[in-house]
Amino acid sequence: MPGSLIDTRQQPLSVGIVGGGIIGVILAAGLVRRGIDVKVFEQARGFREIGAGMAFTANAVRCMEMLDPAIVWALRSSGAVPISIGDHQAEARDYLRWVDGYHESSKRLYQLDAGIRGFEACRRDQFLEALVKVLPEGIVECQKRLQKIHEKNETEKVTLEFADGTFAHVDCVIGADGIRSRVRQHLFGEDSPYSHPHYSHKFAFRGLITMENAISALGEDKARTLNMHVGPNAHLIHYPVANETMVNIAAFVSDPEEWPDKLSLVGPATREEAMGYFANWNPGLRAVLGFMPENIDRWAMFDTYDYPAPFFSRGKICLVGDAAHAAVPHHGAGACIGIEDALCATVLLAEVFVSTRGKSSIVRNRAIAAAFGSFNAVRRVRAQWFVDSSRRVCDLYQQPEWADPQKRIKAENCFEEIKDRSHKIWHFDYNSMLQEAIEKYRHNMGS
């Protein structure tokens, strides 16, 4: 296997990816596998993902397979499904389940069938470690914190300037640098509201409890699967981790205040504080919170809901993933939307590479801008719908009406909407997206 599949007989196409997170590295894998010359610039010393869990829809896994089948290999070999949301057999179906967290009955309100292997889960850090092995050596450069982007004119390369005083010259730049994207700040200016995420007025308490305790609080069935407990102005989600020895708890609450410190989204909290928000909820749910450690995390949720980016690309610079559209985590699918972005950008740049072979760099530069313009046109509506929808489903989980006996029927009507929103995410027709993207690219190129 050669270091990279660059054909020396062709004019190379060089892409600089800012950010070595999951989306940046997956995008790099897709581009490298199509013979494109890629560098990933990561600001941290090593890989920056933390040990949190993440899940991918079956649809996102199919997108990964189109990017590079080895990405799916990396997912499945990265510590092997430490989060389980379905049953234990490989062929079992995965379900999302909602439970009444408020009333004594604690009854199941709704369940959504996500199909066989409807979600595949992993730990971020382990997945990223396996992913990096899929790339040839030398693609990722660490300790490269982006300082500035220099765009001269349309016919010249774009220059990335890093905090260590070094530079990189590339044909185009893709910002995959997350919710606090430096590339987004370059596009909109540091003072623009588009350049910064805003507080969603929800935060979460997070902690782990033992499976034994979870079973005593919830019963075996609930403890061993993923459940969302809904109720007035708050909700709680739990799922087993660490080979089902532990259960991960996240309790989300509404917060009318401003978040005090924009730089630190995670802070300390106590079990007692968390329990205060669920004082009138049912005993099982309160028992779960009671089993949490005395000192837990508080985690503020920011997103791009209030100030969605007016465009995802300008010229030869493009944004993907959270850099383009950061959402609150209530659909459990934020990374999946980023993977759709990566697939779209990869197929467009491969088309640029093939359709401009042997042409001048003027044509190629025009082609890159046409491809990124097509990306913007194809991706922005869906991604920004997803940001909105992530807020919306949280509001539905936390309807005040759950506590009102006369309004509970109204509250329960929400599940039809939740199903439709989930299906729109799960059953995305990415082949049509790719076809539309290529057609728009050709149209932009005037052919």
166 phi and psi angles, rounded to 5 deg? -95, 170
Which one-letter DSSP state was computed for residue 330? G
Asked if residue 88 binds a copy of itself (CB under 8 A), the reply is no
Burial-class residue 330 by CB neighbours within 10 Å (0-12, 13-18, 19+).
buried
Asked if residue 30 binds a copy of itself (CB under 8 A), the reply is yes
The reply, when asked if residue 255 is annotated as ligand binding, is no
Query: Which stretch in 17-25, 61-69, 162-170, 387-395 sits in contact with a copy of itself by CB under 8 A?
Result: 61-69
- 254 contacts: CB under 8 Å, gap ≥ 6: 201, 202, 233, 234, 398
Q: What is the DSSP string of 285-298?
A: HHHHHHTS-SEEEE
What does the alpha-carbon distance between residue 78 and residue 367 come to, in Å, rounded to a whole number?
A: 37
Query: Which stretch in 66-74, 193-201, 392-400, 409-417 sits in contact with a copy of itself by CB under 8 A?
Result: 66-74
In three-state secondary structure terms, 111 is strand
What is the closest distance, in whole angstroms, from the C-beta atom of residue 126 to a copy of itself in the complex?
A: 12
- 88 contacts: CB under 8 Å, gap ≥ 6: none
- With left for phi above 0 and alpha for psi between -120 and 50, is residue 313 left, alpha or beta? beta
Asked if residue 77 binds a copy of itself (CB under 8 A), the reply is yes
Residue type, 88: H
Q: What is the DSSP string of 204-225?
A: EEEEEEEHHHHHHHH-HHHHTS
The reply, when asked if residue 29 is annotated as ligand binding, is no
Query: Which stretch in 60-68, 249-257, 271-279, 294-302 sits in contact with a copy of itself by CB under 8 A?
Result: 60-68
Residue position matching structure tokens 């890989």: 47
Cα of 253 vs its chain's centroid, Å: 21
> Number of C-alpha atoms within 13 angstroms, CB side, residue 405?
0
Question: Of these, 65, 141, 156, 401, which contacts a copy of itself (CB under 8 A)?
Answer: 65
Active site residue 117: no
The reply, when asked if residue 90 is annotated as ligand binding, is no
The reply, when asked if residue 48 is annotated as ligand binding, is no
What is the closest distance, in whole angstroms, from the C-beta atom of residue 71 to a copy of itself in the complex?
A: 10
CA dihedral (381, 383, 388, 389) positive or negative = positive
| Closest to a copy of itself by CB, 116 or 362 | 116
Question: Of these, 11, 12, 35, 382, which contacts a copy of itself (CB under 8 A)?
Answer: 35
Two tokens, residue 52: 């949190």
What is the closest distance, in whole angstroms, from the C-beta atom of residue 175 to a copy of itself in the complex?
A: 23
Number of H helices and E strands in the chain, helices first, is: 14, 19
| Closest to a copy of itself by CB, 119 or 162 | 119
What is the closest distance, in whole angstroms, from the C-beta atom of residue 151 to a copy of itself in the complex?
A: 27
| Closest to a copy of itself by CB, 134 or 211 | 134
Return the CA Rg of the chain.
Answer: 23
Active site residue 408: no
Binding track, positions 297-336, relative to a copy of itself; x by CB under 8 A: ----------------------------------------
- With left for phi above 0 and alpha for psi between -120 and 50, is residue 80 left, alpha or beta? left
What is the closest distance, in whole angstroms, from the C-beta atom of residue 43 to a copy of itself in the complex?
A: 24
Query: Which stretch in 27-35, 141-149, 370-378, 416-424 sits in contact with a copy of itself by CB under 8 A?
Result: 27-35
> Looking at 95, 102, 199, 239, which residue is catalytic?
239
Q: What is the DSSP string of 392-437?
A: HHHHHHT-GGGG-GGGHHHHHTHHHHHHHHHHHHHT--HHHHHHHH
Asked if residue 5 binds a copy of itself (CB under 8 A), the reply is yes
Asked if residue 1 binds a copy of itself (CB under 8 A), the reply is yes
Question: Of these, 73, 110, 194, 259, which contacts a copy of itself (CB under 8 A)?
Answer: 73
> Looking at 34, 206, 224, 391, which residue is catalytic?
206
Residues involved in catalysis: 206, 239
Residue ranges that bind a copy of itself, judged by CB under 8 A: 1-3, 5, 7, 9-10, 30, 33-35, 65-70, 72-73, 76-77, 80, 89-91, 116, 133-137, 350, 354-357, 431, 442, 445, 447
Binding residues for FAD: 42, 55, 124, 322, 335
Binding residues: 42, 55, 124, 322, 335
